Structure 1
Amino acid sequence: MHEPFSRPPEKGGPGGGPGDTPAVRPDPFSRTPEKAVQQRSRDARRRSGQHPSPACGRRWREAPDGARLAAGTCLRYTGAPPLPGLHRTVIRTLLLASCIAFLAACSHAPPRNPMAQWVESPNHDARRPTLIVVHYTEQDSAAQSLHTLRTGNRFGPVSAHYLIGADGTLYQLVADERRAWHAGAGSWGTISDVNSASIGIELDNDGQSPFADAQIDALIALLDDLTTRLRIPRTHVIGHSDLAPGRKVDPGPLFPWQRLAEAGFGVWPDADAPPAPEGFDPLLALRLLGYPLDNPAATIRSYRMRFRGDAADTLDAEDLRILHALTRHEPVPAR
């Protein structure tokens, strides 16, 4: 046990005069038996998680000096009482803030199609897709097209959401929810800004050669994914020439629209559809399908390139039958 610590004697202490035995003040830092009891009690309370109540503190402070050491059951606690409710609130707030920060960080990452290799193009902005537009690249290779779609051509920056190589390799350049710059001037139905409402798919093709089976198989798989995931109607698959008659001819007369229709995408007439009735208006039918009529002759050429495989600018009885069949069952919604 430590010896009590004493201050130097003072002369003239209480009850004495000069020369009396000096008084010794009790040292406040010395550990008396009573203080040891108090310390052990405090330590026990801390270990057990118990703390004296505010009422206990008041009784301690208001008690006479002698009574404060009496039983040692109500000890003065000068620290702040615990606030478990506040602690839980702070923890919950911090966890919520962390979750929000994590989700915000994730929201900046553009969604990427796991079917495709990601080769990002910077040429895009925001929009919501309701249409799919098929193009051909009219270039020598997929590598050349990847370069063009990430930079630009002689008209300026261009891009597309996807490029499909002749061997069926699928590349994604722009996230689906972003607006790629692929359609240019044109319209389809009530859609005048096609870039803002469409997914653009480029096919590696020189514009003169048949499309490879592997490439069309990959296109059909991609169309199935896009229409399912983005809820785009399966009939909303058109060619670049459909929305820009007279300005564009891709994907050209060699593109297998009937094969796509047999897989469930785009539109194609029934083989056994009856002839068009007397008074049938083919231009109205073209408008119902979505074709723009600013230049009717150019629109007819685009229509025939898709459904007849040539670019004639006049309509015959077979064209009337086809147009009647396409609009009789299900006019293609414009939006």
Structure 2
Amino acid sequence: MRIISLVALFLLLAGCASGPQIDDRYRAVGQDSRVQVIVLHYTSSGLEHSLALLTEGEVSSHYLIGAAPATIYRLVDEDRRAWHAGQSEWNGRTWLNSSSIGIELVNRGYVEGEDGRRLWYPYTDEQIDALVLLLKDIMQRHGLKPGAIVGHSDIAAQRKVDPGPLFPWKRLADAGLVPWPDAAAVAAQRAAFAAAPPDIAWFQLALELQGYKVPRHGELDEATRNVLAAFQMKYRPTRYDGEPDAETAALLQVLNGTR
């Protein structure tokens, strides 16, 4: 009897060790990628410090792209969560570490000039070329549409400004990666809005339709200005003062009309 009990116990343990059998023949139609957003950042430092920062501490990203040469470093597998977004929101989705891929570009960001203005560092053509190729590959594999690529300043407008006003969003648009407003349509809308400016509530709703987290109280407070500045930095980088002017309204109107 003791021998039979030992044999039964052995068979039970062996079954537990091997685990349950999983039938993998069926696939649900109702699914998509965990990845819904790609977030672009700059590192505010050089390559060596960027690598140390993103691999030795709590902050991380899936990819890091050097400036020259534009080497692409994979630091976190795409099926793992990287710690790059922090407190964030886009299109109502919050804490985007869980649903995004983070890409850091080696760039020192900015320094404060003597007049108090920020002096921004440019990106290299080689770096942006590498980024475009990487973005196309990621978007194809995860089934993402244009508009899924955002800046850190888009998802955290109250505390972040990267990738900054010198990041060439238009080059990504020319590659079919982000939506871009038609210049003629913007000019026509700008004239209309110059004659009849929309109120602050209109701007807040239009920014929300773009995906931003923005107050909806109809007042031009600091939080609303920060979101306006983030949008302007992306689509009108020559002036990103957070003012709700006719050109910003035109850009929002045309972009929202093509969604």
Looking at both structures, which has the greater relative contact order when contacts are Cα pairs under 8 Å and sequence separation is at least 6? 2
Normalised to the residue count of structure 2, the TM-score between the two structures is: 0.74
* Cα pair 1:128 1:178 within 8 Å, conserved: no
Let me know the Cα RMSD of the aligned residues: 2.0
User: Equivalents in 1 of 2:230, 2:146: separation in Å?
Assistant: 20
1:206 aligns with one of 108, 112, 129 = 108
User: Equivalents in 1 of 2:197, 2:96: separation in Å?
Assistant: 32
Q: Give the letter for the 1:194 counterpart.
A: L
User: Equivalents in 1 of 2:53, 2:145: separation in Å?
Assistant: 30
Within a 5 Å distance, the mapping from 1:62-81 to structure 2 comes to none
User: Equivalents in 1 of 2:76, 2:47: separation in Å?
Assistant: 16
- Structure (1 or 2) with the larger CA radius of gyration: 1
The answer for the alignment partner of 1:267 in structure 2 is 179
The answer for the alignment partner of 2:59 in structure 1 is 158
The answer for the alignment partner of 1:180 in structure 2 is 82
* Cα pair 2:197 2:246 within 8 Å, conserved: no
Within a 5 Å distance, the mapping from 1:221-240 to structure 2 comes to 221-240=133-152
TM-superposed CA distance for 1:266, in Å, is: 1.8
Within a 5 Å distance, the mapping from 1:1-335 to structure 2 comes to 128-139=34-45, 141-152=46-57, 157-167=58-68, 168-207=70-109, 208-273=120-185, 274-275=188-189, 281-294=202-215, 295-309=223-237, 310-330=239-259
Q: Give identity over the alignment, percent.
A: 45
Report runs of 4+ in structure 1 exceeding 3 Å deviation.
Answer: 276-280
TM-superposed CA distance for 1:246, in Å, is: 2.3
CA offset digits 1:72-121 (Å, max 9, x no partner): xxxxxxxxxxxxxxxxxxxxxxxxx8xx8xxxxxxxxxxxxxxxxxxxxx
TM-superposed CA distance for 1:226, in Å, is: 0.1
SS in structure 2 opposite 1:311?
A: coil
* Cα pair 2:92 2:213 within 8 Å, conserved: no
CA offset digits 1:150-178 (Å, max 9, x no partner): 122xxxx1000000000211000011111
User: Equivalents in 2 of 1:214, 1:252: separation in Å?
Assistant: 18
Larger % of helix: which?
2
TM-superposed CA distance for 1:279, in Å, is: 7.4
Q: Give the letter for the 2:243 counterpart.
A: T
* Cα pair 1:246 1:302 within 8 Å, conserved: no
Which deviates more, 279-288 or 170-179? 279-288
TM-superposed CA distance for 1:217, in Å, is: 0.2
Q: Number of matched residues?
A: 203
Q: Give the letter for the 1:319 counterpart.
A: T
Q: Structure 2: give runs of 5+ residues left out of the alignment.
A: 1-17, 22-32, 110-119, 216-222
TM-superposed CA distance for 1:134, in Å, is: 0.4
CA offset digits 1:267-324 (Å, max 9, x no partner): 2211111306667522211100101114212111111111111330212111111000
Normalised to the residue count of structure 1, the TM-score between the two structures is: 0.58
SS in structure 2 opposite 1:178?
A: coil
